[in-house]
Structure 1
Amino acid sequence: MAQIHYTSINQVVEVQDEFSSILDTSIEHKIPHLHECGGNGRCTTCRIRVISGHQNLSPRNMLEKQAAHLRKWDPSVRLACQCHVKGDVQIQRLVWSSAEVNKLQLETIPEGEAEERNIAILFCDLRNFTRITSQHMAFDMAHMLNRFYTVLGDPILINNGIIYQYVGDEIIGIFGTGGGTRQQNCMDAIRAGLGMQYAIERLNRFELKDFDTTFKIGIGINFGRAYIGHLGHPKHRQFTIVGDPINVTSRIQACNKEFQTNILLSEQVVRGLPENTLEIRSIFEKQLEGKDQIYKLYELKGFTEPDMNLELQSSLDYILKNEEEFAKKFYDKVFKKAPAVRGLFGRDMVAQGRLLMHMLGGIVYSLSRPELLKMGLRSLGKSHEKYGVKPEYYPVVRDCLIETIQEEMGPDYTEQLGSAWNQALGFITAEMTNWRVAEPAG
């Protein structure tokens, strides 16, 4: 029987049959392996590098050939969902977390030339950086900045954006380098901005209080057409964005100091969304530095209606803070309410817990790419039915998951958040249980 050696985790598993792909084998053995589209060859998140045993894999099919050509892969890179094993192979998974997925957009950016695309741009600036630096030792300052970059970078990544640059005390996020509509890219940028605001509040409350420091930020968001590409010396090309929208966004962000605001949007962003989507606190008119015309700037308070994606994202830190503990609490609740479910699992509940947390985090990240998420959920539902999961188990899972989230978040849990999780889990369950309807006949 053929074996797959996962070099990064030094684990060897046996392939069950010739019809199982490498991705199927990963799932069978509870090895977390990203596959946003559910293993349908529509994304490239399950990609692997073949270390040895190339000759023991099926040749690239049309889907793989298209991906390899578009992204300029060398022959060692394969889609795990599309290649089948005929003999022993050594492989390495190349995309380890959902946060890394957005970087894959850069593979479609042209080399050595620039291409004009519609993008949303977010500038986030740390206030009073010079004063804060003078009050702390260099080591403490480095620690605080690393936490700042991490907690404020995550909302960019979870909303289908990429971190373009760190410039001193400033973070620049870009949305739409891989395509998307104006509305989608602007919504992603706004969710990221609001997510940054929530993240900085948690950072101040839980981590920076020991340093007797409070971080404050200003955010500017704009939308426009800019040139993007990998430019520079042929031996050292860098991803670069060139265009007036970048400069305008920087100036919009700087206006937060003058107006004593936190998040300012350009008129281009507001006009890109349906009416009454946003709750606007104030509107300002300002001639930006270096510009002749007057710009209308909107102070963002939030969404007029609760936004499911943003609510779920705000709870993800609590869920992933202690993954093993969360998974154990969840499964204990499930087995107590539905004892028959216990028989579906083997003895290694630690590995099962890791797989659960990997899946939960992946789903929340994938909400910004709903077309892929639906495909992934349908494939997940199909595999669950194969393993003996019955429709009546899904409400139990939903209730136990929400109860566990509520326990983990404590006083930070709100009815609004519970409603968002109910809505999300309803959508997830519907897609997982109706996979036959969506599957083409024949």
Structure 2
Amino acid sequence: METVTVVGLGKIGLPLAAVIANSGYFNVIGADRNEKVVETANKGISHIQNEPGLEELLYNAWKTGTFRATTDTAKAVSQSDVVVVIVPVLVKEDGKINYEFIDAAVEDIGKGIRKGTLVIFETTLPAGDTRNRFGKRIEEISGLQLGTDFHLGYSPERVYSNRIIQDLSNYPKIVSGDNEKSLELVKSFYKRALNCDILPVSNLETAEFTKVAESVYRDVNIALANELAVFADSLGVNMKEVIHAANSQPFSHLHYPGVGVGGHCIPVYPYFFINKGLKKGLVHLSREVNDHMAKYAVDQVERILGSLQDQNILILGLSFRENVKETTKSSALLLADKLKQRGAIVYVDDPLYSSEEIAAFQVLPYSEAIREKIDAIILQAFHDQYKNFPFDHFPNCRMVLDGRNQLDKKKIEDLGMKYRGIGVQ
């Protein structure tokens, strides 16, 4: 069987490696610089939680010998026919792109690559980076010629946490190559590895642009929903009812508003266009609108409570969204910052995190011992555990801000608390 190295065993890389290793066509080497991740993977144990099917797939691949892990990326690459790169590209506070981790991975690939290897990038990238930044760098380090001695492809990941394995088979795989030969190799690889529909595009840059465009579409449409929700609040109109009614028309696809947008994708990838020269317009404005929602939410709390100085506010959900243990760009952090600026005492509850993990974000971990002190509650991430949250345990709570418009307004108000949603009063 051919050997595949998956570089990066994070929340997408490890499930991808496990699926490929169970395909029946490939032996897989998972490469990661995190020694703990490699150690657990080499026992058939996943370090990623809440990903249905992953534990079974990884254990089976480990048991049958089609998967192993290593911290030595260059050596793994030297033993491989195909290399798949799924290492994160981050955005700094100023919106500039941080290539630190993927640049380091490419250095290792360049040191280990052999003739005939196919290298595929799955990391979301600005258009042009696969060819001009990474392909050229591999050439420089290895001395091999792109398109002749080794082949280059790009196929963006298009999956959603908590259903990655399902999405890998259900979504068409967008594929591209630096030339026709590379494209054929990429198509053949994914057809065997994932047994999914294949959607080829004309070049690497088109595939890169497509993935960023998907995220920008969502950011822009969420911003529209948030802007309309704020306006609906000013008129006393229920935005949830508006959306339900408007979307009964087949050309209307209004998204749902919320307290903000977080994660590795939607609030990050618009900067891949902005930093490539996209001038002021909807993409820029959408980032401003969505990041402003935390301030708007705090304004709503302040209207009910008055001054927030020394008020005890509980945020439900440190994660950026429901049922995922991930804090990247989480609106909880924006909310906590805005609340502290106004003198509030901020507590955070999240069933996916320990008290120590929560405290690392300079907020106070919530415990039952202080429930009578809480003046207001903000729902930020609607984890399954919050579906039956005991709001009746907070006798002095005066309001609940439903940042995801998921709670039962009547139940909240029957407890004598004020209820506010986003576009819902």
For normalisation by structure 2, the TM-score amounts to 0.25
Higher strand residue share: 1
Higher relative contact order (CA 8 A, sep 6+): 1
